[in-house]
Amino acid sequence: MKLQQVLNNLQKLHPKEIDLSLDRIKRLCKKLGNPQENLKYISVVGTNGKYSTIQAIRAILKEAKINCNIYTSPHIQRINERFIYDDEEISDENLIKLLTEVERINAGESITYFEILTAAFFYNAKKFKNNINIIESGLFHRADACSIIKSNFASIITAIGLDHLDWLPKNNRTIDQIIFEKTSSLLNSKIIVSKQSSYEILNKIKNSISKNPSKKLIFENDFNYSLNENGFFYYEDKYGGLKLPLPNLEGEFQLSNISSAIAALRSIEELDISDENIKSGIKKIRSIARFSEIKNGKLKDLVKKNKIYLDGSHNALGASVLSKHLDTLKCNKHIILGMMNNKDHIEYSKYFKGKISSLTTVDIPNQPNAINGEDLMKKIKNLKNINYKKSIKEAIKSIDLKDNDIIIITGSLYLAGEVLNLN
């Protein structure tokens, strides 16, 4: 049986794509022998920066010769990306075997697609009992399938902002509710709080976790970083300072994510991470669609000597971070934008007003829940030099590029996957 057919079968097990409850995943995991128990975990929650933080942890652990498993969502191009064991993406053959076995044990009981994938990750992870499992708790942690674990080494809270509001009650779509959902039920271990977009949000997070007895490490209070103009940045915590090379990720905003990863790993005494592991690891971080330059391929050929970047930011907080980074680039910037229908398109786009030379909206292929590019253009028509093109290729070709101009394709991780496939 082909992988896609297996996935199609799993999607039929529950009428809803998302149904926030832990009953079904607990029931299935009990059938599977509760594989999620007695494993080693680092949990990552938040709105933005989870992927980069996880990849920084992964790179440093690899330099320390500590094997890891990783569970993230969504994937960009292949669902296999969600299932990393021994630092390697699972093969189609092994993923088919895994999912087929878990589906058989589930025996047709109602369970969402994400829940059964999560149970499958745990089921296979028990084969690698000595590995560190880095798990991304998605949407709202309190009711997320990943939150059924009972212990971990640490929880990292990345930047929190407004997103996925359509899954909250209409009268409670606030930053306070999002912070509550993501942080109120964290495990008693260590909590690392990343740099936030405002002190107001930071203080709300502090208040939410105040009764949690975990040891808490707060950005600026317990760890910090500063950027040096001479090609390095300086990290500091209670263990001392580190003069570190700039990572292989573009954008100062990535230093916040990397610093949170370092703070977490240095606080976990059982791992014995050396300074050299950190220095070499941050130069080898894997990154997909996080302000990543497309350096070759069919789409790169269309822009010739100009640079083209892919960024998966898809909410106002991500737009704010991207906008600040664009301010540091001394060139003309052209954005190609495609978004899902349930995002705040006006709030997202306002961060680019007066900062870019053009914006071209596009349709996202193969995504029925995406907003039509023409409708998106009409919603954000207050921006100057805004256009619509049906396809990504048409959008690139339509931009009148001058020397040193750059293109940024952004607005959705689903769009990012389509771009990579096209390229």
- The per-residue DSSP string of 205-244 comes to HHHHTTT--SEEEEBTTTEEEEEETTTEEEEEETTEEEEE
Judge whether 155 and 268 are in contact, CB under 8 Å. Answer: no
Residue ranges of the domains in the chain? 3-281, 292-422
Assign domain 292-422 to its CATH superfamily. Mur ligase, C-terminal domain (3.90.190.20)
Angle CA 134–122–135, to nearest 5: 20
Q: For the chain, percent helix, then strand, then coil, each to nearest 5? A: 40, 20, 40
pTM higher than the cut 0.75:
yes
What is the predicted pLDDT for the residue at 169? 76
Residue 356's closest CA among 395, 327, 398?
A: 327
What is the chain's pLDDT, residue by residue, as a tens digit (423 residues)?
A: 799 999 999 999 998 877 878 999 999 999 999 999 999 999 999 999 999 999 999 999 999 999 999 999 999 999 999 999 999 999 999 999 999 999 999 999 999 999 999 999 999 999 999 999 999 987 778 889 999 999 999 999 999 987 776 767 788 889 999 999 999 999 999 999 999 999 999 999 999 999 999 999 999 999 999 998 788 999 999 999 999 999 999 888 899 999 999 999 999 999 999 999 999 999 999 989 889 999 999 999 999 999 999 999 999 999 999 999 999 999 999 999 999 999 999 999 999 999 999 999 999 998 999 999 999 999 998 888 999 999 999 999 999 999 999 999 999 999 999 999 999
pLDDT in tens, 40-67: 999 999 999 999 999 999 999 999 999 9
Separation of alpha carbons 314 and 343, rounded Å = 8
pLDDT at 114: 95
What's the confidence (pLDDT) of residue 140? 75
- Measure the CA–CA gap between 204 and 180, rounded to whole angstroms: 9
Q: How many CB atoms lie within 10 A of CB 270?
A: 7
pLDDT reported for residue 20? 79
Look up the CATH superfamily of 3-281.
Mur-like, catalytic domain (3.40.1190.10)
Q: Within 10 A of 283 (CB to CB), how many other CB atoms are there?
A: 14
Which phi and psi (to 5°) does residue 62 adopt?
A: -65, -40
To which H or E segment does residue 308 belong?
Answer: strand 307-310
The answer to whether 199 and 221 are in contact (CB under 8 A) is no
Provide φ and ψ at 178, rounded to 5°.
-65, -45
**Burial status of residue 65 (CB atoms within 10 A of its CB: 0-12, 13-18, 19 or more):** exposed
**pLDDT per residue as tens digits for the range 348-397:** 999 999 999 999 999 999 899 999 999 999 999 888 899 999 999 999 99
Which uninterrupted H or E stretch holds 307?
A: strand 307-310
